[in-house]
Structures are given as C-alpha cells and as structure tokens.
Chains A and B, each alone.
Chain A
C-alpha cells in the first residue's frame, strides 16, 4: 500500500522498485504520498505535563477509596441474580415500611447509604452502575457508519 511504502512502514521490494522506475504515474503518486506523510510528521503532540501525573494520582486515590467488590460473578449466575433481586426488593420494602412515611425520614436514608459495604447488595449495584458506562460506551463504535465515510470521501 502506497502510504505504507511512502512512510517506510513497508519494504519496497525489487519488483515494486522496478515498476516505479518505469511508471511515471505510480512514481508521481508515490512521491505525493511521501510528501504527505512527511507533512503529517510535522504535527507533534505535547508531552504529558507534570500536572498530568499529579492529577492522575489524585483521581486514582479517589477511585481506590471507593468500595469495590467482585460483583460480576453474581450476575453471571441467573439464580443468584434472581435471589439478589428478590432480597433487594424485600430490603427496599422493609426500608419503606420502617421509615413510616412514604419515603422514610432523612436519617434512614443516610443510614442506608452508610451501610454500603463491599459485597452488600447496594454496594454491588453501585459497582454495576459504575461499570455499566464502560460497557455502554463499547456500542458507540458500532454506530459509526461505513456508509458515511464512503459518501463523505468517495
């Protein structure tokens, strides 16, 4: 492929070389690609700033402070997942019952959030939600239409 040949990513075989020597059209195109590749080299990217590492450390520290659990194996087992759903339903039911009012008191809400320990139903669901955005994003690439490329650049 010419851009590869032109940028040295692909070896110019004796066969290609002899063709280029005798074919003005191909030789011209090859030179055009070579110049384009050289031009693209001029667009440099910056090094990560010192701030990058500091900020990443801070964000990782925050991440590590969050509760984590091996939650996924639960959801791989339908029976356990179903049981968990039922338990969660019961828990929510109890919570609303104990709270007296329809939404419970503010104190109870805080208590429930505080009990978010690794392995608990609430903790697992939070972890699930957290991971969900990663996998939801994976579908994004599928949306990029080949057709769009063809139309925009025939």
Chain B
C-alpha cells in the first residue's frame, strides 16, 4: 500500500452553510418507490434496510428467548420438548450473534453515519455496499431453510464431533454463516477504504470522530477474523458432505482443532460486536455533557489495542478442553491484558462527565446503563479468565450471565443509545421523550432481573443449556423469567413509540442535541448527497467550547455543481494527503 503521508497546510475559500430546517428534498423524497429502494446505492437507504432486517431478526431471536425462559419456569417440562428446547437456544444464539449483533451497529447505524461523519457523499464502493446487503439476505434465507427443515440443535458454537453427527440441518446454517461472513468482510473492506480515502478537507486522523475510530478498528477485525470463520464452516460443511475427517478423530483428525478455529474468529467477533458500541458511547456522552472528550487518543488507540490483543486470547474458551497447561496459562494472562484498554475507555468516559453540563435525555440514560452493565460484564470476564475459577464456572449460567452483560448490557444498550441519538437524523422525526425514558427504565430493571440471578445460580453450579434443573434453582429461574417478560415489554414500547414517530407530522430539527458532529450539520433527514456542499472541518468533533458557526463551513466555490458560488472567507486547514 505504501502510503506516504504528507501533512501540509492549505488555504481554502470557505463560507458558512447553515442546514435548512425545512429541507425541500431529502433522501426520502428523492428516488422513491420500492424498486428505487431495492436497487439503491445510497449508504443511508442501505443502512436503513439493514436496520429493518436486524430489527426483524431481533424480534425473532427475542421471541425464541421468551419461549426458552418460559420453558424454564418449572424444573421439569413446562410446555415444550427437550429437543425443541435445544433447537430454540441454538437458533436464539445463532440469530442474535450472526444476524443481529454483528451487523447491527456497523452495517445499520455505521452505514448511515460513517460517510456523513467523514463529510463524504457515500462509502468508497457503493455498489459493493448494496451487494453486501443482498449477501446478508441470502445468508438469512439459508438459515430460514434450516429452520423449516429440521432446525438446528448444536448450539451457536457448532462444536464437533456433535455437529458432524447431528441430524439437524447443520449444513444449511453453516453455509448461511459462510455467506453472511462475506457480507461482513465486504462492509469492513468498504469502511477501511472510506476512512482512508474519502475524508473531507480538514479531517485529519486527529479530528476523526471516535465513532469512526471504533468502526475502523472493527473493520480491521472483520477483515482479519471473518475469513477464518469462513474456512472453518467450509471445512465443517465438507466434513459433513464429503467426510474429509479433519475434525474427526476416527479418521485421524482432531475436534479440538475446530474449537481453535472457531474461537480464533469468535473471540475477535465479540469485539466486532462491542467496539462499535464504544464508538457510540463516545459520541453520545460528549453530546450530552457538552464537553470535549477526555483522553481522545487514549480512547481512539485503545480500540486498536483491543482489536489487536483480542486476536491472542481465544484459548480462554478452551481451558477445559484439554489444552496444554502452558497454553492455558498464557491465554489466561493475555485475557487479563484485554481488561486494560477496556478499563482505560471506561475511566476516560467517566472523566468526560466530570464538570460537564449533563442532560439526561434518553440516549444519555442508555450511556449510563452501558457504563454500569458493561463494567459488570467486563469484570466477570476477568474472573472467567482466571484459570482456577473458570474450571468451576465454565459451562455454567455464570458464563451465560457474563456474555449477556457484555453483549446485551454493552452492545445492545449502546445500539439503543445510538438509535435514539441518530433517530431524528435518520428519519427526520422525534420520538416521545417520556416514553423513551419509561422504556429505558423497564429495560434496565428487566435486564438485571433476568441476568443477575444467573450469576448466582451459575456460581452454585447450574449448568448452561439444560432443559431441566433441580428444585434448589427454582427461585432464580423464575425471577429470571419474569425479568425477561419485563424486558420484552420494554422493547415493545420502544418499537411502539419509534413507529409512531415515523407517522407523526412533527419535524425534528436538524440538530436537536446541539452536537458538534459533522453528521448533524446536514438537514434532517439529509439530502441524497448528504451535504449540498463540500464540508470543510477546522475543529475537532468534540470542541464544544467553539461556536457552532465554525462547524458549518464548506467550500465556497463548489466544483461539482452543488452549492453556491458566493465570496467566502479563507481558512487554513491541515490536509493529510494519502497517495497510494
């Protein structure tokens, strides 16, 4: 690639472009109709289509979760068979991981926001972007075929040798996941290139929004880890169709090799899920404390550090799988190391709040929830990373609670923060603040009610993925089930008021939160080309002490026909020119 970076200062003629509060044309009003949507290469429409699909899958995965919890109301059979139970937890896990969490923030919100935060008109490869959406759809169809056809009962981890022998439709799902992987890889490739090549004048690496740093780190993990998952599921597919025996001890193969391959992807994948959440938190926490972020570089670079160390810890999922003692010890040590960049982030966010003018709007409520829940998730992760503790806790509900605290308490809550934060930009409509707060409260209470008891019963020895349990655990399971109903109500409420806002006539202002982020300097919803000028950036995205006008600059003489030709004033911007 041989990028030579030349930093130089250039003088540009700029003028102020104040976003209109009453835009005549938006990306909704242009290119209308079903066909236009389905063939669009506009990153905003593609982002919204992802959002819709992710929401559908979340509904499906969530319904399965409620069924699972209902079955667990009583120690013995409540209403479904053990086999059905196995299929439900497998599908719940696979759907939530592969179809919801992995694409949710990058492909849905990221697609919408990333080019706008860079001041670009689109991502680097718009057609590839549309292709990756359709690849996602094809992957989804494969999974539905499996659903209709015997289901799947291997757990979302597809461990061999069970998965090579199982009579359920493993191949359909592994092929689905294989295809889905391409969607993820293409999105990552697209984002990396966009961040490098399509930044508006003045956006240097030091002025990139932290959301972009986070998406950038995520894309790197996607590009480096996903192909390994692809080859793993391909080998598993071949194992089932041609019996190649690489994971089959009877033919001289090794099932633990599958676990290594799987976790080499899936541990980094947990960072594919959480790192974009970190990005949202940085955006929202500054916007609602009206303050510069504390430790910009610490937060930006710790994302990259997490991406890097995240590749070296996969063995912590295999402490009890017969890995050598030396390997286990090293993996345990490296696992502790991941806690450091993660902790750095949390502390910097908390420091950002200090002396800020904090506004407790719905997105900010979710940020506080995130800080609280994700910390619990992280700390319990460290406990699981300690060898002797994990021997006891492995494959119990303690692990289940850990990863729900990080994936749901972390990623999903961050997603909700971002969804509420960008909702007015994406749809041009405002949701009902009171209902937003009520839903946030329900989700917080429901979440803790569901998963706190799981820590306790896990540490007392309740194994995960069991259909029955001994009486001693009844109160914990029942609390957990009731909590999950509360959660369900919370989500339904969110769905209700978001839907209602779409059909209301009230228009959201272009920048309801007075954010300094570049994406807010467009109309709500944005123009088809995002901005009707080429934005020029002279301040960092969190410079809340600078006046708003200075964040609304654009090239005075536009070269592409958009925008006006008035006389501008000149500003000096630093440009980093990248030549390949």
A and B bind: no
